[in-house]
Structure 1
């Protein structure tokens, strides 16, 4: 395995296979927040969510 870290680029390789890669244009993880709505009636659930903001 090989880990490559240069400035804002991170790559994890196994031989010639790229397992993980992230840079400023292709983030690996996003963090966000939103609003949810949950309704229950006699054991039946209705779930809805709405994304308000997402950041890499």
Structure 2
């Protein structure tokens, strides 16, 4: 969830990174557009982990 505008998107984590102290997660161009920060390049976000059905 983008903390600046409340927009949310579900994403699948494919790998780990970026390896930066400044940033916590890197999202696809499509996710950044849906969250409303594509042009800005970064935003404050809240990350919520959701288990897949097969993980239960």
Q: Which has the higher helix share?
A: 2
Work out whether the TM-score is over 0.5.
no
Structure having the higher strand fraction is: 1
TM-score (norm. length: structure 2): 0.22
With the length of structure 1 as denominator, give the TM-score of the two structures: 0.22
Structure index of larger Rg = 1
